[in-house]
Structure 1
Amino acid sequence: MVAAIIGAILWAVIAMLTGYRFSYAAIGLGCLVGLAVRLLGKGSELRFRIAGALLSLFGCFLGNIFIIYALLAKEWDVSFFQIMGTVSISETLLYLRLTFNLKDVLFYGLALLAGLRMAASDY
């Protein structure tokens, strides 16, 4: 979980610094999460692979939310944390829906696959 959150934060920071949301970062996030599951889980059973995949997917969604919040903070000239405190869950879901596209599906799938594969200790 911590690796997914750290990956999401890094993805948002990169997006803020460059002004571009690199979809390829989702794959890196999936690898980071999968490696964390492999190192801490110490097993190759299916449950570790599923955990790596699902946590990678969670990290991707969280990363997109952080990117949206960071862009809104920049646009409205307020802090990131003010946005986190004022934007409701329904508004967040609306922003996610408006910014989600077919490319996201592809890279979320690749992140999920990376988390699944990297979480296996026999990989």
Structure 2
Amino acid sequence: MTREEHVAICKLCTNRKMDIEQGILCKITDDKANFIGECKDFTKDHSVQVDQFIETADPLTAQEIQLSEKALDKLRSEQNLGLGIGTSLLVGLLGAALWAAITVATEFQIGYMAVAIGAGVGYTLRYFGKGIDQIYGISGAVIAVLSCFIGNFLSLIGFVANAEGIGYIETLLGIDYSLVPTAMKESFSIMDILFYGIAGYEGYKFAFRVFTNEDLSKLEN
């Protein structure tokens, strides 16, 4: 049997595992399949279809895949923490400004905007940072929560500016910042904690580079 024929069968077996350098291996033998005809250790994975393995398999992070040190070094050489943080900060600030604008215009704080900010920050950090190390997830969580805080702060500035009939920049420059913590504390609620938490979780979760089976096949070659 050819390697392709072995792989086609192994893709349907629960005893498969992915190795970044060798491709699909058998968990039992820790080696490539070498059976002839039928495999005595085959156990069908009913969640996978023959012609839809790559399309239906969820992307995995580096932490979920068995990677060799050589493969990890290669992936780490492609990381760019500075670019990832810079672009995700920009997206976070834009999201915060949009959230504040909507809040001031409607006089209603839409908490789900925090969820969108967290996802936006995470995906941006993933795309530009290409990170697999924990620092990327931590950075994503911190930036997401910070962006939500800035969004609430800008909302406060907007309300003060409208109440006083002055410009937003003028308010930013002239406000008594010693009063800001008290004002934000009074407007803070339990729901804010929930949405901040979700935003931080998404900023962390989505910050990591992910790999499909097709990606792993390319890395293998």
Q: Same fold (TM over 0.5)?
A: yes
Aligned to 1:12: 100
Question: Could you list the per-position Cα deviations for residues 80-100 of structure 1 after superposition, in whole angstroms to 9, with x for gaps in the alignment?
Answer: 111101113322112111111
1:1-123 aligned at under 5 Å gives the runs 1-122=89-210
- Give the AA of the match of 2:95: G
Amino acid at match of 1:3: V
Measure the CA separation in 2 of the matches of 1:100 and 1:16.
16
- Runs of 4 or more consecutive aligned structure 1 residues displaced over 3 Å after TM superposition: none
Deviation at 1:30, TM superposition (A): 0.5
Query: Could you tell me which amino acid in structure 2 is paired with residue 61 of structure 1?
Result: F
- What amino acid is the match of 2:149? F
Q: What is the SS of the residue equivalent to 1:78?
A: coil
For residue 65 of structure 1, report the CA deviation from its aligned partner. Answer: 0.2
TM-score by length of 1: 0.94
Q: CA deviation at 1:44?
A: 2.1
> What is the CA–CA distance in structure 1 between the aligned matches of 2:109 and 2:168, rounded to whole Å?
17
Deviation at 1:121, TM superposition (A): 1.4
User: CA offset at residue 34 of structure 1?
Assistant: 0.7
- Higher Cα radius of gyration: 2
Q: Which runs of 5+ in 2 are unaligned?
A: 1-88, 212-221
Q: For the aligned residues, what is the CA RMSD?
A: 1.2
Percent identity, aligned pairs only, is: 28
1:92 corresponds to which letter in structure 2? Answer: V
Distance 2:134 2:182 in 1: 34
